Structure 1
Amino acid sequence: MIKLRKYFPHLAGLVFSSIFGFSFLFTKEGLELMSPFHLLGFRFAIAFITLSILRIAGIININLRGKNLKKLFLLALFQPGIYFICETTGMLYTTSSEAGMMIALIPVAVTILAAVFLNERPTLIQSLFVALSVGGVFFIIFNRGTAPIDGNYLGLVLLGGAVIAAGFYNIISRQLSLEFKPVEITYVMMGFGALFFNLIAIFRKDFALGSYLNLLTNTDVLIAVVYLGVFSSVVAFFMMNYTLSKITAAESAVFANLTTVVSIIAGVVFRNEPFFKFQVVGAVLIIIGVWGTNYFGRPVVEKGEEIYEKV
């Protein structure tokens, strides 16, 4: 049993990367049944309720007294706020496969923003891998017009906005991680998302709560929001944090790439989404670029120990 325990972090990595990979599929399915803000409102309400139950049961501990809540709310504005507005709306105009490829660029965005705002200069080889992954995106964009793909370039632009928002989230969360536990940050994020998105969705429904909640009687709606709210927002979070606490950032990057692969396979197999040769080339360039950006990241030496940056 002790020998098997060393594989637990990698097993958890497989679980959370698969959950995240399928989340694009369930988001796309949900968007066919309701508006983006309606879907987001249900998703974060269920996530916040789940975390609140875990808090009441004593499984997780949340203590926000005397802490910098203003900066934490700024963090929540970027993610889930701006990030999920861009991601979910962007998926109206793209396939779930393309969404998975674009969101894979988050570590690259973090590297670029860290260089600008934190003066964390990437190495030369890291910069080459950043350029490779960005080149993969442009390769897809330039070839997309020749393929019969539904939607337009607006979706890719919006997904790019989600990547940038996630980059800023990572930059701010590095500072807040010294004061807040990951579960505390997540709890506030889920609460912010539940309040923010439900207020917008209910306003768009002219405050007709009856018709707003009626969608939950639809089995397909319930499956989508439970998956996104419980599995993608809670279960995968705990699995991801467990994995990152046991292995290096370079090793964890492999699972980020697996998320992209799973999202592509899920879109093609379960939604019959088209996947062309140019998308294969672009996906490979993005995945290699993201892996290299993480693997060749500068290690941070602190108190005589080598601690890897988790970008």
Structure 2
Amino acid sequence: MIIKIKNMLPILSILGAVFLWGSSFSAMRIILQDLPPFAVMFCRLFIASIFILPISGKLLPKSYQKGDWKILIPMVLFQPCLYFLFESRALTFTTSSQAGIISACLPLMVAVAAWFFLAENMTTKTIIGLFLSIFGVALLTIFQSKQANAPHPILGNLLEVGAMVCACGNIILVKKLSSRYDTWSLTGMQVLAGTLFFLPGIKYIIMADPSIWTIKLILVLLYLGAIVSFFSFGLYNWGISKIEASRASIFINLIPVTAVLLGWLILGETLNLKQMIATLIIIFGVIFSNQR
């Protein structure tokens, strides 16, 4: 029983991270009423970096080997820096539905990259689960009640593909480094790099109307920074260090499910029958692909 629980911990850790990432959509929806996206991303990562300070001594890499910087720098550039940059720009040119469909390709990208770079096996169940979850996410995003305007859909979709490539690269590099580096060391590097990358967002905060800084706004920012941007990265990085990268990436397809469900519960957004069916397909795909 103890062994079974121990084997489940990485999956539970990844599920926790996915739930927190999914909840960020509702939180962002609330906070974007007062602050622009670039300012929100800076606040999130800056707050996360503050929470890192008390344990900063434990974050210093103790297993650094010559040449590791060639892996560490691309890792932090891929995510959160370039990933958030590409995705935020993509959503200004294409619809959220099309972007969501493209993001469903991430687990398949990771499975292929893990097979190529990490020599991980791709089982039949993994492949079937991947395609089921991709199909489910496609249905979930297509059947959204509302869609944004798409002035340049081709450019937007290409940027979203770029974001997924960055996310895929980050997952592979984290998996490669996790055998020697502490999970929180990698998380700390990502948070600090993202804070510096989005530092220009501070100008929007300075220019903002002081009256927007309500207790509600501050609490949501604290949640996004401390819990979503820091703790969830740690959970996911630890989980991915314990199981195959291709398996861990499949859980990412639960993010839109979590976002839709919490949007329905917290913001009163509708969840139609087709979206419910798509949600069940995604959940089944994730469970099926992770059966032993």
Normalized against structure 2, the TM-score is what?
0.74
Query: 1:169: how far off?
Result: 0.8
CA separation of 1:209 and 1:258: change in aligned 2, threshold 3 A: closer
CA separation of 1:138 and 1:255: change in aligned 2, threshold 3 A: closer
Query: 1:260: how far off?
Result: 4.9
Q: Distance between the aligned counterparts of 2:260 and 2:156, measured in 1?
A: 15
The answer as to whether partners of 2:178 and 2:241 remain within 8 angstroms in 1 is no
CA separation of 1:116 and 1:226: change in aligned 2, threshold 3 A: same
Q: Deviation per CA, 1:2-47: give whole Å up to 9, x if none.
A: 9xx9799487677545433322211222223222211111110111
Is 1:195 matched up with 2:196? yes
Q: Which residue of 2 aligns with 1:176?
A: 177
Which residue of 243, 258, 265 maps to 1:262?
A: 258
Task: Map 1:170-249; keep pairs closer than 5 Å.
Answer: 170-199=171-200, 201-202=201-202, 205=203, 210-211=206-207, 214=210, 217-240=213-236
The answer as to whether partners of 2:100 and 2:137 remain within 8 angstroms in 1 is no
The answer as to whether partners of 1:104 and 1:257 remain within 8 angstroms in 2 is yes
Q: Which residue of 2 aligns with 1:279?
A: 275
The answer as to whether partners of 2:174 and 2:237 remain within 8 angstroms in 1 is no
Query: 1:180: how far off?
Result: 2.2
Q: Distance between the aligned counterparts of 1:148 and 1:11, measured in 2?
A: 31
Q: Which residue of 2 aligns with 1:63?
A: 61
Is 1:77 matched up with 2:77? yes
CA separation of 1:229 and 1:285: change in aligned 2, threshold 3 A: same
Q: State the secondary structure of the residue aligned to 2:198.
A: helix
Task: Map 1:14-25; keep pairs closer than 5 Å.
Answer: 16-25=17-26
What one-letter code is carried by the residue in structure 2 that aligns with 1:268?
Answer: W
Q: Distance between the aligned counterparts of 1:215 and 1:20, measured in 2?
A: 28
Q: Structure 1 stretch 38-47 or stretch 24-33: which is displaced more?
A: 24-33
Normalized against structure 1, the TM-score is what?
0.70
Q: Distance between the aligned counterparts of 1:168 and 1:107, measured in 2?
A: 12
Q: Which residue of 2 aligns with 1:308?
A: none
Q: Deviation per CA, 1:240-260: give whole Å up to 9, x if none.
A: 566678899999789767655
Query: 1:176: how far off?
Result: 2.0
Q: Distance between the aligned counterparts of 1:173 and 1:127, measured in 2?
A: 22
Q: Distance between the aligned counterparts of 2:243 and 2:269, measured in 1?
A: 34
Q: Distance between the aligned counterparts of 1:193 and 1:275, measured in 2?
A: 34
Task: Map 1:296-311; keep pairs closer than 5 Å.
Answer: none
Q: Distance between the aligned counterparts of 1:152 and 1:121, measured in 2?
A: 41
CA separation of 1:77 and 1:46: change in aligned 2, threshold 3 A: same
The answer as to whether partners of 2:175 and 2:241 remain within 8 angstroms in 1 is no
Which residue of 136, 147, 151 maps to 1:150?
A: 147
What one-letter code is carried by the residue in structure 2 that aligns with 1:63?
Answer: P
Q: State the secondary structure of the residue aligned to 1:80.
A: helix
What one-letter code is carried by the residue in structure 1 that aligns with 2:169?
Answer: F
Which residue of 292, 303, 308 maps to 2:288?
A: 292
The answer as to whether partners of 1:100 and 1:263 remain within 8 angstroms in 2 is no
CA separation of 1:150 and 1:254: change in aligned 2, threshold 3 A: closer
CA separation of 1:224 and 1:18: change in aligned 2, threshold 3 A: same
Counting matched residue pairs gives 282
CA separation of 1:221 and 1:211: change in aligned 2, threshold 3 A: same
Q: Which residue of 2 aligns with 1:124?
A: 124
Q: Distance between the aligned counterparts of 2:236 and 2:192, measured in 1?
A: 20
Could you say what the CA RMSD is over the residues aligned between the two structures, in angstroms?
A: 4.2
Q: Which residue of 1 aligns with 2:167?
A: 166
The answer as to whether partners of 2:31 and 2:217 remain within 8 angstroms in 1 is yes
Q: Distance between the aligned counterparts of 2:138 and 2:250, measured in 1?
A: 23
